[in-house]
Amino acid sequence: MLTRVTGLEPAIYGVTGRRDNQLRYTLKNTLGNYTIGIFLSTHVSVAILRKHAYTSAKKELSMQESILLFFLNIANPVLDVIGNIASLIGEQTIIIAIALYILYNNDKKKGFYIFSSVAIAVMTTNLLKSIVRSPRPFQVIDSIQGKRLATATGYSFPSGHTTTGASFYTALALAYKKRILTILCIILMSLVGLSRLYLGVHWPIDVLVGLIIGISFSLLFSHYLDALYDDEHIRMRFLCIMGVLFVSAALLLGVLLNFFSADEVAYTDLMKALSLGGGGYFGFVLENKKVHFSVNESRGKQILRYVLGLAGIFLIMGTKIIIPDSLYAIGAFLRYTLIGFWATGLFPFIGKSLHLFSDVQ
């Protein structure tokens, strides 16, 4: 028979309570020290990483700045002229003029491939610009004033001129596969990139990434667009989908820019690129449905339709002066959409009735 020893209970419970309290105290101190250790080590690690990232960024900026200062130190009036001309060969006026001649008078399939490669590459670059929003060198480095600033309309990264030039001249080289033309295209796209550094409107990393985007997109899409063009059903579906996507996105951006104070620097060039591409794709739809023109005509007729088509583009560009400032974004959307539509479809449609374009035999 067990006897309950009541006198010992308080002592036992007291000892046990003290031990529990000591255990809790020990655990509390241990966990507290452990937590503090983790906290301090984490903050030290973050501080080290931040310092390393800052140091790396500072070194990278210093290296890029050194390259830009090199071009600044060799600047002279003769190189200024060469730099401006080199930059011009990567701009929309020259690209459109060459692509239009190919489309009207040489090879419609090649014209379609070149148009699509450039449109998608430029849209991608402008999308990246709107996301990254990197300042240009002349906005960061006091000694660099920047030249040809009228063409430096968006953010810096990546270079739009370099992307345009790289995608266009890569596509041109791939379309014709001639050694001399390929060498010339490599030289021209390189000059475009170097000119943007010389003019002080882009960082070296902007130009490098612009080259990568332009060249890689033209290379990647070469086989795909070639096969796509040969299948009329797939081609028409592609044209319609791209036209709707590009124009819808451009219209949305135009509305946001005009009425909701969206960042003009970030989105204006993207809106223009989408408008031009979307209008161009809808123009191809019209040409495929209603025109089906042949590039084979007399030399005189080829020159006449090319000059008239180009004149129409310049005329549409000139309508900018009659658009009120309050509708600048919507006006730009309409203008660039109409330029694309005119070049690839509307003018051939009108020109067919004027006997400038004839059916494919």
Of 74, 97, 126, which residue sits at a domain end? 74
1 in a structural domain: no
Does residue 15 register a pLDDT over 70? no
At residue 24, the pLDDT reads: 40
| Structure tokens belonging to residue 206 | 């902007």
Task: Looking at the structure, tell me whether residues 185 and 235 fall in a common domain.
Answer: no
Tell me the per-residue pLDDT of 215-262, one tens digit each, with 9 for 90 and over: 999 999 998 998 999 999 999 999 999 999 999 999 999 999 999 889
Over residues 155-180, mean pLDDT: 96
Rounded to an integer, what distance in angstroms lies between the CA atom of residue 46 and that of residue 228? 51
Specify the higher pLDDT residue, 115 or 16: 115
Of 74, 103, 132, which residue sits at a domain end? 74
Which domain covers residue 113, as residue numbers?
Answer: 76-222
323 in a structural domain: yes
Task: Looking at the structure, tell me whether residues 186 and 131 fall in a common domain.
Answer: yes
At residue 61, the pLDDT reads: 64
Flag the least confident range among 91-95, 162-166, 334-338. 91-95
Inter-residue contact 155 to 134 (CB < 8 Å): yes
Tell me the per-residue pLDDT of 259-310, one tens digit each, with 9 for 90 and over: 988 999 999 999 999 999 999 999 999 999 999 999 999 999 999 999 999 9
326 in a structural domain: yes
At residue 43, the pLDDT reads: 41
Specify the higher pLDDT residue, 160 or 360: 160
Tell me the per-residue pLDDT of 34-66, one tens digit each, with 9 for 90 and over: 333 433 443 433 343 333 333 444 455 688 999
Task: Looking at the structure, tell me whether residues 134 and 237 fall in a common domain.
Answer: no
Percent of the chain topping pLDDT 90: 74
Inter-residue contact 267 to 256 (CB < 8 Å): yes
Task: Looking at the structure, tell me whether residues 209 and 268 fall in a common domain.
Answer: no
153 in a structural domain: yes
Domain count, the chain: 3
At residue 52, the pLDDT reads: 37
Rounded to an integer, what distance in angstroms lies between the CA atom of residue 284 and that of residue 43? 59
92 in a structural domain: yes
Task: Looking at the structure, tell me whether residues 208 and 235 fall in a common domain.
Answer: no
At residue 8, the pLDDT reads: 35
| Band (360; pLDDT cuts 50, 70, 90) | confident
64 in a structural domain: yes
Instruction: Give the other-Cβ count within 10 Å of 93's Cβ.
Output: 13
| Band (359; pLDDT cuts 50, 70, 90) | confident
Give the Å distances, CA to CA, from 98 to 29, 101, 302: 77, 5, 14
Tell me the per-residue pLDDT of 183-209, one tens digit each, with 9 for 90 and over: 999 999 999 999 999 999 999 999 999
Rounded to an integer, what distance in angstroms lies between the CA atom of residue 188 and that of residue 192? 6
Task: Looking at the structure, tell me whether residues 190 and 324 fall in a common domain.
Answer: no
Task: Looking at the structure, tell me whether residues 144 and 277 fall in a common domain.
Answer: no
Task: Looking at the structure, tell me whether residues 337 and 303 fall in a common domain.
Answer: yes
Which residue(s) pair with 293 in the sheet? 359
205 closest CA partner among 297, 280, 109, 136? 136
At residue 326, the pLDDT reads: 85
189 in a structural domain: yes
Of 222, 248, 282, which residue sits at a domain end? 222
- Sign of the Cα pseudo-torsion (247, 253, 254, 255, in order): positive
285 in a structural domain: yes
At residue 168, the pLDDT reads: 98
